[in-house]
Amino acid sequence: MESSLLTGVSGANDTSGITEDFVRVRSATVQLAARLHPEDTVAQSMPDASPVKWHLAHTTWFFEQFVLQQRQGDARWAQLFNSYYQSMGPQFSRDQRGILTRPSLAEVMDYRKRIDDQVLEMIETGAVEAMLHILQLGLHHERQHQELLLTDVKHLFSLNPLEPTYSDGQPDFARGIATPMIFVEGRSGIVMMGCDETDRNEEGFSYDNERPRHRVILALHALANRPVNNAEYRSFIEDGGYRDARLWMADGWNIVQRENWQRPLYWSQDLDSAFTLRGRQDIDPLAPVTHLSFFEADAYARWAQARLPTEAEWEASAAGQPAHLGNFVESGILSPQAPGHSAHRDALYQMFGDVWEWTASPYVRYPGFKPLPGAAGEYNGKFMNGQWVLRGGSCVTPAQQMRATYRNYFPPTARWQFSGVRLARDL
């Protein structure tokens, strides 16, 4: 691979600080898993989710295969923990990862330590310099799995009648303020979107699907100053939103009927409480609504006589805002929170953190997009069909992952991620 195609955590040709970055990121994943019992790490709640033990192993497999470029120990593990890289060999069926009782959690943790020691030795001897770009990709890849670990645990625990808690107690956070929804005019005309070699986050990193920087034309529009909150979405429910086919796309209406959707994922039938990573909690009416599919977000927007923003509109409004200042996983709150400020004219709140915001944009390549060479080219590009873009990060996203150009993507039916909605309107 050419390192110019991907720079990262500490710069493409600079190994200073990479040891600290590697240890910090790898340790954070272990710390997230440390709150769980060994039994919690094996189960798989649905095909879209993965067991915690698999996340711990797969992120290690990435460094083993792409950085060390060799298999350690039992070669069969490569098949177990390869996610979707066809060019790296066969993969174990994704929807059956929950039956992998072996290797044990202890063996997986030994595997992590063994690979970590070898990568750190490469860094210390300078042998990693030629692979620095892929090492940095591996660290950002692991941050993505830290978020998936938490969303997958939440889904798993929600299915247990005991409703176990991932995190006990209530964290300290400021009480939210009732913030009126105001529509703020966005940038229009020709604007720049995406990033290039000089326009990345403060770490100097971007994924291939964020590039290249290119021009787009935006019509006159406005974005809501904050995400839709729980009280507003409850009004949609009580007004018959889930029973009115006129509000829904055809595929969305089909799944509403087939799956009997009547409210957001994890909400109780009486609409008063929701399952969280801290167990069952009363629903905060002022906090952003979350765990909505694209179809639900779109239906709500139609009901509110608005629409979803395009990802270009969203990015143009978010550009220049400090992306790391939001309710991310580092806060320890692990749930979306109500705005902490009253509304001011022309101010946009909670663009980063709290909830991923569905956009009206399908996940497709930018003009001039080039996937990374080799197996790493499978990371993003081959998923550019049948998915929709989300922006902004959530309450379980690592803050260092986020930037205005970051493109997340999921199928329109996905609900188990912390996904919400910000409205837009034409002017």
For the residues 90-100, what does the mean pLDDT come to? 96
Query: What does the pLDDT read at residue 317?
Result: 97
Across 89-103, 166-180, 243-257, 288-302, least confident range: 166-180
Beta strands in 283-394 (DSSP E): 356-362, 388-391
Q: Which residues pair with 365 in a beta bridge?
A: none
Quick check: is 302 in a domain?
yes
Q: Do 264 and 390 lie in a common domain?
A: yes
Q: Do 216 and 330 lie in a common domain?
A: yes
Q: Is the distance from CB of 363 to CB of 384 less than 8 angstroms? A: yes
Residues 6 or more apart whose Cβ sits within 8 Å of residue 68: 115, 118, 119, 122
Q: Do 261 and 359 lie in a common domain?
A: yes
Q: How far apart are CA 349 and CA 32, in angstroms?
A: 28
The CATH number of the domain holding residue 278 is: 3.90.1580.10
pLDDT at residue 247 tops 90? yes
Domain limits for position 43: 3-158
Quick check: is 348 in a domain?
yes
**The overall pTM is greater than 0.85:** yes
Quick check: is 409 in a domain?
yes
Quick check: is 170 in a domain?
no
| Residue 359: burial class (beta carbons within 10 Å; 0-12, 13-18, 19+) | buried
Q: Do 393 and 299 lie in a common domain?
A: yes
Q: Do 279 and 396 lie in a common domain?
A: yes
Quick check: is 47 in a domain?
yes
pLDDT at residue 408 tops 70? yes
Query: What does the pLDDT read at residue 173?
Result: 55
For the residues 192-203, what does the mean pLDDT come to? 68
377: pLDDT confidence band, cut at 50, 70 and 90? Answer: confident
Q: Do 19 and 150 lie in a common domain?
A: yes
Peptide bond just before 398 cis, omega within 30 deg: no
Q: Do 153 and 189 lie in a common domain?
A: no
> What single-letter amino acid sits at 80?
L
Length of the chain: 427
Could you give the number of structural domains in the chain?
2
- 273-276 and 279-282 strand pairing: antiparallel
170: pLDDT confidence band, cut at 50, 70 and 90? Answer: low
The CATH number of the domain holding residue 126 is: 1.20.120
- 214-218 and 189-193 strand pairing: antiparallel
Query: What does the pLDDT read at residue 70?
Result: 74
Q: How far does Cα 229 stand from its chain's mean position?
A: 20
Q: Do 154 and 268 lie in a common domain?
A: no
Q: Do 286 and 393 lie in a common domain?
A: yes
Q: Is the distance from CB of 267 to CB of 158 less than 8 angstroms? A: no
Query: What does the pLDDT read at residue 378?
Result: 84
- 419-420 and 356-362 strand pairing: parallel
52: pLDDT confidence band, cut at 50, 70 and 90? Answer: very high
Query: What does the pLDDT read at residue 320?
Result: 87
Quick check: is 76 in a domain?
yes
Query: What does the pLDDT read at residue 171?
Result: 60
pLDDT at residue 16 tops 80? no
pLDDT at residue 169 tops 80? no
Of 124, 158, 192, the position where a domain reaches its end is 158
Question: Of the candidates 63, 55, 73, 58, which has an alpha carbon nearest to the alpha carbon of residue 115?
Answer: 63
3: pLDDT confidence band, cut at 50, 70 and 90? Answer: very low
Quick check: is 153 in a domain?
yes
Q: Do 198 and 256 lie in a common domain?
A: yes
Across 36-50, 163-177, 280-294, 309-323, least confident range: 163-177
pLDDT at residue 220 tops 80? yes
9: pLDDT confidence band, cut at 50, 70 and 90? Answer: very low
Q: Do 233 and 347 lie in a common domain?
A: yes
Quick check: is 65 in a domain?
yes
Q: Do 244 and 316 lie in a common domain?
A: yes
**Terminal Cα-to-Cα distance of the chain (whole angstroms):** 46
